[in-house]
Structure 1
């Protein structure tokens, strides 16, 4: 996580990326295993999903817990910080709906 000139830019820089905000919103509904997230995000490659999860973990937004089992089991959950930013992401979601309505009206 890198501080920007403006706090808005700092926030956007942390949550921007291929479906990071969507991953956070899904994890707010409960802990998920990697395969569950992959099914919820069919438009993202496994490589990109792994990259986004790693970045979210490095930024302290999610926790990754690996269980010493065969086959390996990994679960992802939100940290307190991840839970704290949820309302802001919901606001962005609602804002996106407003823009999508405007786009639909112009078609």
Structure 2
């Protein structure tokens, strides 16, 4: 359990997986637009880490400029139900006002 939580706890990691789960395979630029606020460097780092863990695949078309597309592997797809469940919990908690306080998680 600890190993998978360490993998998912990296900055932006679950958001990237969620976008790929929700929207399907994405080119790099589209993925960057779908994750507002992430830097190019951070997105590249997270994608490399997720690819190394076998959670996402990367496909590069031999075009100029290269067209690089990312999507979920079967291992990444295993996370779909978990992320959906977390999303449902987040919506309920948001409705209860849990996230109204900017100090949530600051302790």
TM over 0.5: yes
Unaligned runs of 5+ in 1: 1-6
1:34 aligned onto 2:37:
no
User: How many residues align structurally?
Assistant: 98
Unaligned runs of 5+ in 2: 102-107
Contact 1:18 1:44 in 2 (8 A): no
Q: State TM-score, norm by structure 1.
A: 0.82
Q: State TM-score, norm by structure 2.
A: 0.82
* Aligned partner of residue 63 in structure 1, secondary structure: strand
* Aligned partner of residue 70 in structure 2, secondary structure: strand
| Alignment-derived partner of residue 102 in structure 1 | 98
Q: CA 1:60–1:94 in structure 2 vs 1: closer, same or farther (change >3 Å)? A: same
CA distance in 1, matches of 2:99, 2:66: 44
| Alignment-derived partner of residue 15 in structure 1 | 8
| Alignment-derived partner of residue 4 in structure 1 | none
Contact 1:38 1:46 in 2 (8 A): yes
How far 1:26 moved relative to its partner? 1.1
Matches within 5 A, 1:1-107: 7=1, 9-28=2-21, 29-100=23-94, 101-104=97-100
